[in-house]
Structure 1
Amino acid sequence: MRTLRRALRRLPIWIGVTILLVVVLYPQIWMILGSFKSQSEFLSNPALSLPSEWRFDNYVAALTTGNIGINYMNSIIVTIPSVIMIVFIGVAAGYALEIMVWKGRGGVLLYILAGIMVPGQMILVPLFITYFKIGITDSYLPLILTYTAMGLPLTTFLMATYFRSVPRSVFEAATVDGCGPLRSFFVLGIPLMKNAIFTVGTVQFFSVWNDLLIALTFTTRPAMATIQVGLLSLGDEYGSTQYGPLFAAVSLNILVLMTVFILLNKRIMAGMAAGAVKG
């Protein structure tokens, strides 16, 4: 009887979870099934019907004719340096603002936080003009620099918050033992912030990878287009929208993002468990 009552109390929760799963999984299943269909099947058959013939050539067409393979490589070239710079500079700035003692650090932190309140759309045109004048528009540098600049305010604020949770006596003891600020940062700061680094790095990775507006603004040649720009232009690649290759490209993008999320999520959880054991 007690088990039945407990099950009835949890019933609304399970119903809500089931509804959320249906809402999330339905479009993904529809998209994956559509990626294996021909154009005529996609237009005439029901949305969730199985393909009469599993057309893997849609994925081949997306990677070759649709240039999605090149778009993936461009996204990797842009995303990895941007995330590394955002995380490293953000961790260093958080350490300098929260651990090191110097006059005016509170005002500098407020100045950095002001960058969060500036909409990115306001500065794209001035940035494009600046990049054009210094002659770097025909490269990946505008994307990397812009992503780094836009990701730093939030990362710096988060890292300063994480450093604030670490007892200052840890760094004071290191100073007494003859550890300078730079060595203290690499020997103590980065290891202590390992969990935060993976968390912030994950957030910034998805932010940069999924961006469309900045990539569309600073991409001057189709050969430099990132994956989001490539997906946007894939509909006109054949003169008319070919849903099979388009859905195949979107499915590949989701698969990559899910894989990265699962791998990084496991790494974050392992780091948090290790930190809890060390006490």
Structure 2
Amino acid sequence: MSTREGNRRLRIARAFSTILVLLIVAIQIYPLVWVVLASLKTPAEFAGGNPFALPREPTFDNFGRAWEMADLPRYIGNSFVVTVASNVFIVLLGMMAAYAIQVLRFRWSNAVMGLFVVGLVVPVQVALVPLFINYARVGLLDTYQAMIVPLVGFSLPISVYLFASFFQYVPHETYEAASLDGAGPYRVFFKITMPLSVNTIITVVFVNTIFIWNDFIFANTFVLSEQLRTIPLGLQNYMGAMGSVDWTATFAAVCVTVTPVLLAFLALNRAIIYGIEGGGSKG
């Protein structure tokens, strides 16, 4: 094969890859763009016009109406509390479990890691009825803990896997040098392991934040009062009598609630990508 022919095939392959990537990006971004455009339309224009057309007279009245129709700040605050608390436990427990499995190494470490991997395929629905019964017995229904505990439990497998995969590529001499200097396992964990794992921590937090921030099934099952409603539950309040929905206000509320996650991703995307490459792909 000539050099010219090889270069031509390489250009074609690159062009095909570029087109494929752009197509995937367009498919992923289009729903969000559509929601933003719909939130800028008047209710009459959205109901009577082409839903895929650009707004003729953009308006921000929908955002004010969305703020008035439901207690949006309370929903955002509840989601924030659940997300932060869950991520704290996920990071601490996930890192400690991975540290024990991959660094300290004990007799059944491989078997324990296998159990965590199996946990990746367990559906959350299997735990709803047992958890509801147990929560009712101990008085945990309609509390933050009722949402945080299952969210932490079902997020631990992927978190332990990512941390263990990262620890596998940390030179063991680092831990040996710290031990020779008199550092115990806890000091090594907090002074060496945690600083080295910053990118993986950011990745684990962001991946789990998407799952926790958008959780509906646990909140809908264990939350009974209006005061503890999170964002997914709160969006139900935009449904009126006879199932009627103020769609433009709903889309405006969706734009407001997804903004924190999007801003976090834009700010931390490099660390997230590095953490995935340094953890999950090497595992």
* TM-score, length-scaled by structure 2: 0.85
Rounded to whole Å, the distance in 1 between the matches of 2:128 and 2:187 is 38
The answer to whether structure 1 residue 137 and structure 2 residue 141 are counterparts is yes
**Is contact 1:29–1:48 with CA below 8 Å preserved after alignment?**
no
Q: Do the aligned partners of residues 125 and 174 (structure 1) sit closer, same or farther apart at CA in structure 2, a change above 3 Å counting?
A: same
> 5 Å matches for 1:210-229?
210-229=214-233
2: distance between equivalents of 1:5 and 1:162? Answer: 37
Query: Partners of 1:210 and 1:239 in 2: how far apart?
Result: 22
Offset of residue 270 of structure 1:
8.4
Equivalent residue, structure 2, for 1:77? 81
SS of 1:90's partner is helix
How far apart are 1:35 and its partner, in Å? Answer: 0.7
Q: Within 2, Cα distance between the matches of 1:260 and 1:160?
A: 25
Q: How does 1:89-128 map to 2 (within 5 A)?
A: 89-128=93-132
Q: For residues 9 and 103 of structure 1, what CA distance do their matches in structure 2 show? A: 49
Task: Look up the equivalent residue of 1:185 and give its one-letter code.
Answer: F
Q: State the distance in 2 between where 1:231 and 1:238 align.
A: 16
Identity %: 34
Contact 1:215 1:229 in 2 (8 A): yes
Give the conservation status (yes or no) of the 8 Å contact 2:69–2:238: no
Alpha-carbon distance in structure 1 between the residues aligned to 2:10 and 2:106: 57
- Residues 196 and 237 (structure 1), Cα distance of their counterparts in 2 relative to 1, 3 Å cut: farther
Post-superposition offset of 1:121: 0.5
Match of 1:43 in 2: 47
1:66 aligns with 2:70: yes
Q: CA–CA distance in 2 between the matches of 1:225 and 1:237?
A: 20
Q: How many matched pairs?
A: 273
Contact 1:131 1:142 in 2 (8 A): yes
Question: 1:266 Cα shift?
Answer: 3.9
Per-residue deviation, residues 236-277 of structure 1 (Å, max 9, x unmatched) = 3896211110110122233222111111214446889xxxxx
Structure 1 residues 26 and 187: CA distance shift in structure 2, 3 A: closer
TM-score (normalised: structure 1)? 0.87
In structure 1, the partner of 2:186 is 182
Q: In the alignment, does 2:272 pair up with 1:261? A: no
